[in-house]
Structure 1
């Protein structure tokens, strides 16, 4: 149930809609799809505090070859031959829309780097080199892992990837380089607690997890939709333009950095 980071995406993808926050210079723009309003609002909302417990890797559910930083946000894999090692988040989600950030240096991924979500049954270690993420779900009924398309030209996945879990719809998607790439996995088990998870074969790699935001199943408020529309209309320079608007200070603060 995830993305195999050592694979690549082709420029020939059939999805052509631009993501409203995507940069025109990004090579991923041709892949972008327009996110639903609930996700668009969530991605434009200030992130949760770094100390949110959902930003931590689990101290109990990881391979012996992984060690965690003191605050639990960084997992580091020790060098180990012929072994694939995994780690999952400390807390999972059963419902709602949730976004996690995973930071993983492309130079530290090796041949079988994978990121996605797992249940509590996901294996933590395997002999040889494989992708552990998704090993707890039979690859049938639309739940098989989905990687890239091996055609040319090829695009590398950058260090920062956002995972978008919709527990209500049972889907998993990814945001790469500011572009929402649409649904990557469907038919995730409804009602099951799903955790962010990674697996690696690269000795010395460091993988950072951060929970960014979450939202219930209910549609976003009218206030948040108006805020999003205004900020999109202002474009990239909205940070410098907000103070120039003929608005009360409270509304300017709302447009700048307030959650709705």
Structure 2
């Protein structure tokens, strides 16, 4: 994808860290912070929308964040999106259901969303410009989208097919509890969630920086050749866990 942007050192380190176990509570949708038309399934990892008309419905992840940099993976098949399919973040002050078809995540001043079909950013109920910057036409967004929320800097960005598309929003309120959120209008849509991990504002661990540097030097085309490097078994194992690019779909 030629619209990719170089991520920060913190984000690069987190993207190249192995994802945490799928059963982490942060990987689940909330059964209380949701529209009545959305039903949580698969132990909390999937949400399903009822085939109702003239309704826009949103759901949040379990537990919010107030600090740190965090990654979530949202899996949402393209043929189950329709119009107004948004992924972003929200505070507790945002609505979870409204009548009609609208961009619910991003529909008020306390939520920020990216519409997957039009690639428009939404905030305060208005279109805030196409994302990623520089895209002349909407891109076909694949099923898996990684959401990068930095509560320390108040920024929100997205990663698609291993490419960071840059900062989408910069005005997230610091100190407010932020939740991963989606909103949809498509009857029968199933949306899966997985929390990949997070880091604090402290400097990354030296071991993580070393593995990141080695992988960046090798490049993506030679990512599978780390086992040929003259390194001790411990470092070989570390590099296998921190491969470039991180494959979060398995």
TM alignment of 1:159-198, pairs within 5 A: 159-198=143-182
The answer for the alignment partner of 1:148 in structure 2 is 130
Q: 2:192 aligns with which of 208, 226, 230?
A: 208
Deviation at 1:169, TM superposition (A): 0.4
Q: 1:107 aligns with which of 65, 74, 79?
A: 79
The answer for the alignment partner of 1:129 in structure 2 is 101
In 1, the alpha carbon distance for the partners of 2:97 and 2:169 equals 23
In 2, the alpha carbon distance for the partners of 1:126 and 1:52 equals 30
In 2, the alpha carbon distance for the partners of 1:227 and 1:102 equals 26
In 1, the alpha carbon distance for the partners of 2:225 and 2:142 equals 30
Is 1:81 aligned to 2:53, yes or no? yes
Instruction: Count matched residues.
Output: 229
Q: Deviations over 1:144-187 (max 9, x none)?
A: 56452698544211111111100000110111122111110111
TM alignment of 1:226-237, pairs within 5 A: 226-236=210-220
Q: Which has the higher strand share?
A: 2
User: Closer, same or farther in 2 for the Cα pair 1:227/1:183, shift >3 Å?
Assistant: same
Deviation at 1:239, TM superposition (A): 5.4
Is the CA contact 1:55–1:209 (under 8 Å) kept in the aligned structure 2?
yes
In 2, the alpha carbon distance for the partners of 1:203 and 1:72 equals 19
**3-state SS of 1:218 partner:** coil
Deviation at 1:214, TM superposition (A): 0.3
In 1, the alpha carbon distance for the partners of 2:172 and 2:187 equals 31
Q: Deviations over 1:89-116 (max 9, x none)?
A: 0111100000100111111111111110
User: Closer, same or farther in 2 for the Cα pair 1:97/1:128, shift >3 Å?
Assistant: same
Is 1:53 aligned to 2:35, yes or no? no
Instruction: Name stretches of at least 5 consecutive residues in structure 1 with no aligned partner.
Output: 1-27
Is the CA contact 1:172–1:186 (under 8 Å) kept in the aligned structure 2?
yes
The answer for the alignment partner of 1:254 in structure 2 is 238
Instruction: Name stretches of at least 5 consecutive residues in structure 2 with no aligned partner.
Output: 112-121, 244-250
Q: Deviations over 1:14-47 (max 9, x none)?
A: xxxxxxxxxxxxxx32x11100111001000000
Q: Deviations over 1:44-74 (max 9, x none)?
A: 0000110011100001111111111131010
What is the TM-score with the length of structure 2 in the denominator? 0.85
What is the TM-score with the length of structure 1 in the denominator? 0.82
User: Closer, same or farther in 2 for the Cα pair 1:222/1:51, shift >3 Å?
Assistant: same
In 1, the alpha carbon distance for the partners of 2:213 and 2:135 equals 37
Structure 1: 4+ residue segments shifted above 3 A? 142-147, 149-154, 236-240
User: Closer, same or farther in 2 for the Cα pair 1:114/1:154, shift >3 Å?
Assistant: closer
The answer for the alignment partner of 2:247 in structure 1 is none
In 2, the alpha carbon distance for the partners of 1:211 and 1:147 equals 27
